[in-house]
A and B are shown apart, each in its own frame.
Chain A
Amino acid sequence: MSLWLQIFQFVLSGLTTGSTYALVAIGFSLIHNATGIVNFAQGEFVMLGGMFMITFHSFLRLPMVLAFVLTIICVAAVGLLLERGPINRARSKEILILVMITVGASISIKGLSMMIWGKNPMTLPPFSGENPLIFLGAAIMPQSLWIFGITLLVVIALSYFFRGTMAGKAMRAVAASRRTALLSGIPVERMILLSFTLSGALGAAAGVILTPITTTSYDVGVMMGLKGFSAAILGGYGSMPGAVVGGLLLGVLESLGAGLISSEYKDAMAFLILLIVLFFKPTGILGKGSFKRV
């Protein structure tokens, strides 16, 4: 295989995983915009997505579409409970404390999942077969097409939600200024709740579509969260298009790094990129600089 074809192949597989990073990164941005919190449990949503899907589809033998919908609902409910429970009840509303609460929640979810689903890695069958399609000489798994398609669908649906619906516009208002939004009669509390629920749903979707490729186990959440966060920083923290660009770019860089340099240190790439971006352009590729009023 020629080098160019090889690179093309790496780019394709990078775009596949990158799409799921983008979904996680959007989840980070949603919660960050509504509350200013870095939600550490974001990666656990991805893990739960895979786990619930396996439970519904492989164990309970529910049809795929129904299992998918149920999974999204369940994980969205976990996001909702996280907000209604610990975040909302916290005695101190300091960001530092709230961030640490999401860390605690993420560890609790991980520990609970270990008890429920055990320690062994599990997988899902691909949505439609395992025969690779040949595209310009490179092989693509049908699952990759599903991942591209579903990610694209989610991104289109979200941009419609933010531009075209009242609730979406209200969420953007909260992101712009919480106080002004409150003064114009927007139920800020409910918007925060919605941001956690949506993030849960996004994480679940990422988990369901990614599991047939990468398998899942109770402890994949931390790494997924870290990659999603790096993607969000890379694209510009808090920006939706930034999250998508950051996710895809991170996926491609990681895949090229693993393929051309060293596959053992594949997971180190995301972190290295995170540090480099923070060092040279902390606002990310599409992020805007921000002013701070004193």
Chain B
Amino acid sequence: MGKQNKIYLILFALGVFALPLFLRNNYHLMVLNISALNILVVIGLNLLMGFAGQISLGHAAFFGLGAYFSGILTTTFGFPTWPTILLAMAITAGVAFGIGVPTLKLEGHYLVMATLGFNVIIYIVMIQLESLTGGPSGFSGIPRPELGGFIFDSDRKYYYLLWTVSLGALLLSLNLIHSRVGRAMAALRQNEIAARCAGIDTKAYKVKIFVLSAAMASLAGSLYAHYITFISPGTFSFFYSLQVVTMVLVGGIGSLWGSVLGALLLTILPEALHAVKEYNVLVYGLILTGVLVFFPHGLLTGMAGIWRGREKRVAAGMEKTIS
């Protein structure tokens, strides 16, 4: 991780942790808490999209697996909270491994469809397995987590928990992409054949990143379940998978800071514009298509490029000469 990133991260963390002092409204805190969860999912997804060059349209399912495993095991079976969260991550990682191994060894974009299918199946299971999951009406009464006698029972307390986890994930991910593993992944994204020739086991890396990314979504799901204390299948439908993919693309594939901004922007914006909620599906579809057509490297990088038009043209020229 470069020095610049370190400074940004420290400044960002200071800002994040100081912010609740100025917020009186619990609703605002809640929106920011959901943003923190989305950031966690989006960072994991961006590692997959930006560095393994693969798309998952099933992250809502991994998010949901975390939420349901945590919720059911702690509430119905009385498991302790924190070990259960880790257990849920391990199970979800195992499931992702099962999907990843057959699909990622192939050339092309089979993972997109496989994960989409998986999302649809998990959604059906959540609804059908009524005795365990509560079916379509959802599962309630999940306990708030506790740490050494301290109970996270308010939006404000949970804010610090969630943002600590999200910033921690951001720190680890920034470290990861600037490590040997990260450079191997960058090579893989640039040119898989060249990377393989350089001795990088590209298939193993793709599977590992996919598993890591699913585990991060599962962690977010568990924290979500313990935060809201009520979960229902609607939250984990294919549409959430699409939302997080859109957040990655708006922030820019491969840019972790972009992911943070993308997640914040697309979580807060719909809350601010209530009219948008009615046409949620259409709006997300149009944003997704528009960003991809006009700013394939992300809305934020694209916008920055327009403001600094000259630099962009130079960069484009360079890209052309390189390729």
Binding site for B on A (CB under 8 A): 36, 38, 40, 86, 89-92, 94-97, 99-101, 103-112, 114-115, 222-223, 226, 229-230, 233, 264-265, 267-268, 270-272, 274-275, 278-279, 282, 292, 294
Contact = CB atoms under 8 A, between A and B. Distances in A.
Given A108-B285, A114-B282, A222-B120, A229 B113 contact: yes
A94 B282 contact: no
B193 A223 contact: no
A226 B113 contact: yes
B282 A226 contact: no
Interface in B39-53: 53
B109 A90 contact: no
Interface string B193-236: 10000000000000000000000000000000000000000000
Given A229-B113, A271-B117, A294-B193, A104 B281 contact: no
B242 interface: yes
Given A100-B245, A294-B193, A90 B292 contact: yes
Contacts of B121: 267-268, 271-272
Contacts of B293: 86, 89-91, 101
A100 B45 CA distance: 14
Interface of B: 53, 55, 57, 99, 101-103, 106-110, 112-114, 116-118, 120-121, 124-125, 128, 193, 238, 242, 245, 249, 279-290, 292-297
Which 4 pairs between the two chains have the least Cβ-Cβ distance?
A111-B282, A108-B285, A107-B285, A104-B289
B117 A270 contact: yes
B294 A91 contact: yes
Contacts of B110: 233, 278, 282
A108 B238 CA distance: 14
Contact of B289 (A95, A101, A115, A274): A101
A226 B120 CA distance: 9
User: DSSP majority for the B interface?
Assistant: helix
Contacts of B288: 100, 103-104, 107-108
A273 to B, nearest CB: 10
Nearest to B193: A294
Contacts of B296: 90-92, 94, 97
A86 B281 contact: no
Contacts of A106: 285
A275 B109 contact: no
A274 B114 contact: yes
9 contacts: A36-B108, A86-B289, A99-B55, A100-B292, A265-B125, A268-B120, A271-B117, A279-B102, A282-B106
A48 to B, nearest CB: 14
Contacts of B101: 279
